[in-house]
Chains A and B, each alone.
Chain A
Amino acid sequence: GDSVTQMEGPVTLSEEAFLTINCTYTATGYPSLFWYVQYPGEGLQLLLKATKADDKGSNKGFEATYRKETTSFHLEKGSVQVSDSAVYFCALSGGGSYIPTFGRGTSLIVHP
């Protein structure tokens, strides 16, 4: 079945550092790919998405590119802020189902 693998956290960075959170997937066909963010005490928010190969999703300075050849959708940000501290979930949906399959989540901690 479909699956999503994310790098284990927590990822701890200083403010203004470069962020990469790795995500790879296994799926049949051409899934849509998502990054969700969960701030402390809040629910999941859609951060960005890409629906076909080579698409780049971007939002709030974050971006991720749908790489079919490497089955990856890594999340990047050039300069993180303390307010970016949250748990980030990679997810996919496809194969005729709109039910997303989530990764385990990666906790990001940004220090001032």
Chain B
Amino acid sequence: EPEVTQTPSHQVTQMGQEVILRCVPISNHLYFYWYRQILGQKVEFLVSFYNNEISEKSEIFDDQFSVERPDGSNFTLKIRSTKLEDSAMYFCASSGGLAGGTDTQYFGPGTRLTVL
């Protein structure tokens, strides 16, 4: 069964450093998303991406964040200058394949980001 993959599974970085989290969505999907989950808290939407541009973003997704689909398979989230409060699990998701509706999102296993 096709699945969303994410790398790395765990990223440790120093405060102020840039990080890039990578995702490979399901191949025929058209919509891509990033979410984060701070330890013990709810899953929060960050951004959605369709047709090579951001379609929605939350207030969390400020100028420190950017997303890109650099080629036909990868979808990346960049945090320009990490802060301690960016420590969280980051989930990528995709939706909108030929068989499924755009309202069902399939999530990757997550990247745990630890900012020291």
A104 to B41, CA, bound (A): 6
CB atoms of B107 and A102 under 8 A apart: no
B52 at interface (Cβ–Cβ under 8 A)? no
- B82 at interface by CB-CB < 8 Å: no
**Interchain CA distance A49-B100 in the complex, whole Å:** 12
Q: Which residue of A lies closest to B6 (CB)?
A: A43
Is there an interface contact between A45 and B33, defined as CB atoms closer than 8 Å? no
Q: Determine if A102 and B103 form an interchain contact, defined as CB atoms under 8 angstroms apart.
A: no
Q: A43's closest neighbor in chain B, by CB? A: B109
Cα distance A104–B71 in the bound complex, in angstroms: 35
- Residues 34-76 of A, flagged 1 when their CB comes within 8 A of B and 0 if not, give 1010000011111001010000000000000000000000000
Q: Which of B6, B41, B105, B109 has the most CB of A within 10 A?
A: B105
A98 in contact with B105 given A44-B91, A103-B42 (CB within 8 Å)? yes
Interface size class of A (residues with CB under 8 A): 20 to 34
Q: B31 to chain A: closest CB distance in Å? A: 7
A44 CA / B42 CA spacing, docked (Å):
12
Nearest residue, chain B, Cβ from A31: B103
Beyond the given A44-B43, A97-B56, A99-B56, please list 16 additional residue pairs across the A-B interface where CB-CB is below 8 A: A34-B104, A36-B107, A42-B109, A43-B6, A43-B108, A44-B91, A45-B107, A46-B105, A46-B107, A98-B102, A98-B103, A99-B33, A99-B48, A100-B105, A103-B42, A104-B42
Residues of chain B whose beta carbon lies under 8 Å from any beta carbon of chain A: 6, 31, 33, 41-45, 48, 56, 91, 93, 95, 102-110
11 example contacts (A-B, Cβ-Cβ < 8 A) are as follows A32-B103, A34-B104, A36-B107, A42-B109, A44-B43, A46-B105, A46-B107, A98-B31, A98-B103, A99-B45, A104-B42
